[in-house]
Amino acid sequence: MDENKVPMPLICMPIVGTTQEEINAEAVFAFSKDPDIVEWRADYFQDVDDKDKVIAVLQSLRQTLPNQAVLFTLRNETEGGNPNQLTEHARFSLYLDVCRSGHADYIDTELNNDHDQLKKLRNETQKHNVNFILSFHDFEQTPAEEQLKINADVAVRLEADYFKFAVMSTVKNDILTVFRVTEDVSHSIQPISMAMGVYGKMTRAASWTFGSKVTFAQGRKSSAPGQMTIEELRTSIDNIRTLV
């Protein structure tokens, strides 16, 4: 193996069903595509307020997808999450229950949450060997590089395993911002980066060459603007791989 080769990214596929039946169907679809990680967007689940049903879904995902890591995400509505009835207290309580269940390999929550809650959650992820992703989303624009680096510094202070940022690209130069920030912050934390929108497709295919550890493919349904099918994404990554 060439030690100078850039590590390949993990490919993650989202599941966004609202019912157990829909989630099961999306899990079967994901199994047929064989991604590295499956992200369950639990904010779409109609019974997300029932802890036992949430844990049961995670158990089912484990059975259907034995070779995939499971990422549990309960996205806040302010950063693109599906509206649901959970209070902030209930949301964090559910995150803690998921960590303790042993059925999630990663959890993702927003950087802009209360830092005391995030520290408590971080302690729980460490106890149960769950990878902790702190994320930032901007669906309107690509913020200045300095702001994104400040966010990364906060994620480092909160001892996150990964800092994820997803921003909207409105001009081509926005993707250069994503690439530069990804490379810069990779020296202090593992980044997961992408731009949304048409221009952003380039970042989904190529951010890994600047240090991004995970990229997202479209599942049976899309969970964000600009996602490609897993076939398109794999082809793009393979083509770029010959150049780096």
Is residue 39 annotated as involved in ligand binding? yes
Is residue 223 annotated as involved in ligand binding? yes
Per-domain residue ranges for the chain?
10-241
Q: Say what the pLDDT of residue 1 is.
A: 38
Q: What is the second-level CATH architecture of the domain 10-241? A: Alpha-Beta Barrel (3.20)
Is residue 208 annotated as involved in ligand binding? no
Is residue 204 annotated as involved in ligand binding? yes
**Which candidate in 5, 53, 115, 164 is catalytic?**
164
Is residue 75 annotated as involved in ligand binding? yes
Model confidence, pTM: 0.94
Is residue 110 annotated as involved in ligand binding? no
pLDDT for residue 230 is more than 90: yes
For 65-116, what is each residue's pLDDT tens digit?
999 999 999 999 989 899 988 999 999 999 999 999 999 999 999 999 999 9
SS (H, E, C) the chain: CCCCCCCCCEEEEEECCCCHHHHHHHHHHHHHHCCCEEEEEHHHCCCCCCHHHHHHHHHHHHHHCCCCEEEEECCCHHHCCCCCCCCHHHHHHHHHHHHHHCCCCEEEEECCCCHHHHHHHHHHHHHCCCEEEEEEEECCCCCCHHHHHHHHHHHHHCCCCEEEEEEECCCCHHHHHHHHHHHHHCCCCEEEEEEECCCCHHHHHHHHHHCCCEEEECCCCCCCCCCECHHHHHHHHHHHHCCC
164 noted as active-site residue = yes
Label residue 192 by pLDDT band (50, 70, 90). very high
137 noted as active-site residue = yes
Q: What percent of the chain is modeled with pLDDT above 70?
A: 95
Q: Say what the pLDDT of residue 228 is.
A: 83
pLDDT top residue among 32 and 225:
32
pLDDT for residue 181 is more than 70: yes
**Which candidate in 33, 103, 137, 201 is catalytic?**
137
